[in-house]
Amino acid sequence: MPTANSQQPIANGQQPINPQIDSSWRSVLWDQFQAPYFAELKAFLVEEKKHYQVFPPGPKIFNAFNSTPFDKVKVVIIGQDPYHGEGQAHGLCFSVQDGVPIPKSLQNIFKELSTDVGFQIPASGNLQSWANQGVLLLNATLTVRAHQAGSHQRHGWETFTDCAIQRLSEQREGLVFLLWGNYAIEKQRLIDTTKHYVLTAPHPSPLSASRGFFGCRHFSKTNEILVSLGKEPVNWQL
């Protein structure tokens, strides 16, 4: 695999893409950044930004990776798309920036935390402190057109994030994957369940939370697993 500083041209003759991402992830995913599909994804995003507002802001697209280096990941939570409302998305799934109303799904996550671990429901929905503790808050698609949910799906992001999940599965051991809803549960195919822990539940959205997300106790179960492995449990309180 090329080193992070190599400048080999990619298939279409362009210079390699060199995103601002944590060095540990840069090394693990370097081949993806040089793949033709990623050049096509970048061209798509450049064109999108000419005509539309795109969320999250550019510096926050890789926030999940920059906040949680590859070798520091303990827990993985998988979302689908960034929030598409003004000021919401900042590169962490289910999380919103300070001062933004807490979305319904996140409200339900907080309700489950409250009953599971005595979580005190906060005024802010910013989950940055989880990411800083080793919880990779990964959306399958890392960008979205403003006010158009799903608008950046099937343009290459899923290939990239699937690879990130697979590399974690292959190169790490004893990670806890929290898969909520059918979309996330489908990602289990990328995970070696003989060396990692997978907890599944319905999505925390208002449409499905009462069908098994409430009462799943994923947060206390995660910490029980981490402690059994000699790892520091997550302080879920924000």
Instruction: Find all residues with CB under 8 Å of 77, minimum gap 6, and list them.
Output: 93, 94, 135, 136, 137, 138, 178, 180
Q: 71, 81, 116, 192: which one is catalytic?
A: 81
What are the backbone dihedrals phi and psi of residue 76, each rounded to the nearest 5 degrees, phi first? -125, 125
Q: What is the CA radius of gyration of the chain?
A: 18
Would residue 192 show up in a list of annotated catalytic residues for this protein? no
Quickly tell me which residue has 């190169």 as its tokens: 171
Pairing state between β 144-145 and 54-55? antiparallel
Of 234, 228, 199, the C-alpha closest to 216 is 199
| Catalytic residue numbers, as ranges | 81
